[in-house]
Chain A
Amino acid sequence: METILGLDLPTWWFLVIGGLITGYGVLDGFDLGAGALHLFFKKEESRRLVLNAIGPVWDGNEVWLVIAGGALFAGFPLVYGVLLSTFYIPFMLFLVALIFRAISIEFRSKEPWLWWRKMWDISYTVSSTGITLLLGLVLGNLIHGLPMNKDHEFTGNLLTFFNPYAILIAFTTLSLFMLHGSIYLVMKTENRLYTRLTLIVNNCSKFFILCFILTSMATLIYVPHMTHQFKSHPSLFLLPMLAVLIVLNIKRNVDARKYYTAFAYSCIITACLLILFAVGLYPNIVISTTDPAYSISIYAAASSVKSLKIMLLIAAIGTPMVVGYTTFLFWTFRGKVKLNEMSY
């Protein structure tokens, strides 16, 4: 098989998709987390401030999901079809939650009535939390593996998805995004809201550390296939050790009120956890719990060599452009958030 810099093309595309999902987690993670925390702010002005803190950027962040979806469709069409049709009901709920989240942000400040704003505030928090939990649930099931037969057909039912491990991963994802979101908000706010947020950050970091410890133990005990890769390449053990160090560092920086550093670390931990997951899966994407031989590997699922090459070229041209726009956007709206007449 053809290789570029020693890696074959499906592996390259696996890295591209991994990179896109990581980008999505790092970027949309903080605005989903901010959404999940929204109802903790009681005053109207505080709610508007935290909403406008993500105002100009959330839509751009969500684009990473669209690109990651397109990349999965293009590179591993078999997996795209199998995964989305297997998780039919969770994905439909996910899509509806995405709609509600978008319109909650958009519609909330369009009317001054108390009930109107309260309704969209609740819808915003419920949809943001729901999106995060569903993402975590799907992720948890992918780590855990699914009952798949030799025709790549799912043999379980809706309840199969709600196993304790996947539920734990769902809550870990929520705790991670809440921590990530609260640190972002602390960077964007000032005065009393800032003070209030520093308390929230502290609580979120405790919640996350608890979830992180539970997940680590559960993975080691119940999901042995995730650690195979690590046993054959012992140097990879540096990754989970790095993750632990970063988690401790977030706590230290939060306590020292160095929120910019803490935010950088919470970006890194999000990336780190997703990389751990990718390393554990590789070279499979969907693991069958029925028989490991029925798992779908990136080689079985990949598009043609020609198509992968074209798309790697597209990605090589497109990625610097996307990074450019994103940087421009975040630079334009740097600093503490202020309300003006164009605000939500």
Chain B
Amino acid sequence: MPSVEILSRIQFAFTIAFHYIYPPLSIGLGLCLVIMEGLYLKTGLAVYKDITRFWIKIFALIFGIGVATGIVMEFEFGTNWATYSHYVGDIFGSALAAEGIFAFAMESAFLGVLLFGWNRVHKGVHYFSTCMVALGSIFSALWIVIANSWQQTPAGFRIEGHDLGARAVVTDFWAMVLNPSSVDRFSHVIIGAFLAGSFLVMSVGAWYILKQRAVTHAQAMFKVGLSVAVIAALLQLFTGHRSAHYVSKYQPAKLAAMEGHYDSSAVAPMYIVGWVDNKNEQTTGIKIPGGLSFLTHGSFSAPVEGLRATPKEDRPGAVNFVFQMYHMMITIGITLIGLTLLAVFLLWKKKLFQQRWLMVIFAWAVLLPQIANQVGWYAAEVGRQPWVVYKLLRTSDALSRKVTADQVMFSLILFTLVYVLLFTLFIYLLTRKIQHGPDISENAEIEYDGYYHDNITYHPTKL
């Protein structure tokens, strides 16, 4: 049987990767809902009301699974990584507690009003709830990314005790919160989430346009999605550059792995595509000579620290994996910019919705930001190995001492089965909801009147 370390790492990677399908969608959809409902309140047009209510239902589905799989993450720190929990509790714990009390509580309470409060509370109160849910999901991401960033670039702490009793203790709360990578990584993550949500909205809109169904509604939602996506795609170029810059400064071994750069100090190229042979420490591919030097130091001839500058036991092992994931993320990022700019141009020319081929691309493009978000995290997390807390605590030292391989194997199999089932049901129900489409108001004049109707006829399929 594989070791406890390998099994625990697989389990954590699997459960977090699965969980991470949902929060970016909630965050991005939250922002789109704020825009849609805002447009409805501003214009009073039934089309915005219909698409708001349609997306609220999809939001509920996504949010529900996000919560259920997120609780697993919180408790897994304790179950599988007890030594780590003890080591970072003083710091990581406070960020997690702050997330719960400041973000999650707000999100969940207002979610109740968002989902069930339509026509029960005044429309202003409902809109306020929508905004609070969106804001809450962003705060959630903020605290979680802060906690993760501290592990990448620890700051504002000192080490107490030694060996198994060692732990990091906070000395400066704000230095810990605003550690060198917090801001860059948070902005990169949150914009990735906006892209995930807005591309889902555009994908569904494009699909209705292709099927010639609810075309007015489809175009309205597509435009909302596009307005978020084009800004986010362009901003992501900037935050991506900032993130690469912090990595070059604080985690040079990770950057070197991302570009497959081995020479301890030499001018480094930037690869468009490539392959890393980690055994012979060689990288081949199509490259921009001096590209990485320019990116990090602003000069094509400046030397960049490579992997050999770090002792072998302190640098990531899966260099090619990190390289490929990082490059896939960048390729997708550039593609998203191209796609959204093209769509905006065609929209301006009033030709967008006639381009069937582009609508087909957009219907499938929902997968692109999802993949980019996933692989970006793979590059970031595998690239900082063998450390769980950078240069302080090794992943292999962070385990629970009393947990056995049998136990982890049991839970890993359990989670695999449950998540396969969960994902199948999610895709099935999402497809059903999309196929059902938005309920279109027959009378465009009927407005949200802010009163609760006891006699609302509910959908006949819900007996």
Contact = CB atoms under 8 A, between A and B. Distances in A.
A52 to B, nearest CB: 8
Nearest to B412: A92
A81 interface: yes
Interface string A36-71: 000000001000100000011101101101110111
B449 interface: no
Given A91-B78, A107-B425, A321-B101, 12 more contacts: A44-B463, A65-B71, A77-B167, A78-B89, A81-B89, A96-B414, A96-B415, A111-B461, A329-B112, A333-B120, A338-B454, A340-B453
B115 interface: yes
A71 B105 contact: no
Contacts of B74: 66, 69-70, 73
B94 A62 contact: no
B456 A340 contact: yes
A15 to B, nearest CB: 15
Interface of B: 60-61, 64-65, 67-69, 71-72, 74-75, 77-94, 96-102, 104-106, 108-113, 115-121, 160, 167, 169-171, 173, 400-403, 407, 410-411, 414-415, 418, 422, 425, 429, 432, 453-454, 456-459, 461-463
Find the residue from A74, A75, A95, A329 having the highest chain B CB count within 10 A: A95
Contacts of B80: 85
A102 B68 CA distance: 6
Given A88-B407, A95-B75, A103 B93 contact: no
A311 B64 contact: no
A203 interface: no
Nearest to A86: B402
Contacts of B82: 80-82, 84-85
Find the residue from A69, A76, A86, A342 having the highest chain B CB count within 10 A: A342
A80 B85 contact: yes
B67 A333 contact: no
Contacts of B77: 73, 80, 84
A295 B308 CA distance: 48
A20 to B, nearest CB: 9
A339 to B, nearest CB: 6
Interface string A309-344: 011001100110110011011001100001111110
A339 B453 CA distance: 10
Contacts of B91: 307
B101 A332 contact: no
A253 interface: no
14 contacts: A59-B112, A63-B100, A66-B104, A70-B96, A73-B96, A77-B85, A77-B87, A83-B78, A102-B67, A303-B93, A307-B93, A318-B102, A332-B112, A332-B120
B410 A89 contact: yes
Contacts of A319: 101
A291 interface: no
A343 B463 CA distance: 11
A112 interface: yes
A106 B118 CA distance: 18
Contacts of B68: 98-99, 102-103
Contacts of A332: 112-113, 117, 120-121
Given A59-B108, A81-B85, A67 B69 contact: no
A104 B89 CA distance: 33
B108 A70 contact: no
Contacts of A106: 60-61, 64-65
Find the residue from A69, A98, A105 having the highest chain B CB count within 10 A: A69
B58 to A, nearest CB: 12
A341 B454 CA distance: 11
A67 B71 CA distance: 10
A290 interface: no
Contact of A92 (B93, B94, B109, B410): B410
Contacts of B461: 111-112
Find the residue from A65, A85, A86, A100 having the highest chain B CB count within 10 A: A85
Find the residue from A82, A328, A332 having the highest chain B CB count within 10 A: A332
Contacts of B119: 340
B417 to A, nearest CB: 9
B90 to A, nearest CB: 4
Nearest to A57: B112
Given A84-B82, A304-B169, A325-B106, A99 B72 contact: yes
Nearest to A67: B100
B78 A109 contact: no
Nearest to A153: B402
A91 B456 contact: no
Given A84-B78, A306-B170, A314-B97, A103 B456 contact: no
Contacts of A207: none
A192 interface: no
A67 B140 CA distance: 12
B71 A60 contact: no
A230 interface: no
B116 A56 contact: yes
B94 A314 contact: yes
Contact of A153 (B89, B96, B116, B401): B401
B79 A92 contact: yes
Interface in A129-171: 153-154
A339 B120 CA distance: 12
Contacts of A44: 463
A65 B79 CA distance: 16
B109 A304 contact: no
A78 B72 CA distance: 19
A231 interface: no
B54 to A, nearest CB: 12
A73 B93 contact: yes
Nearest to A94: B75
B402 A85 contact: yes
Contacts of A233: none
B407 A89 contact: yes
Contacts of B459: 341
Contacts of B105: 60, 63, 67, 318, 321-322, 325-326
Contacts of A107: 425, 429
A86 B117 CA distance: 42
B59 to A, nearest CB: 12
Find the residue from B85, B88, B117, B120 having the highest chain A CB count within 10 A: B85
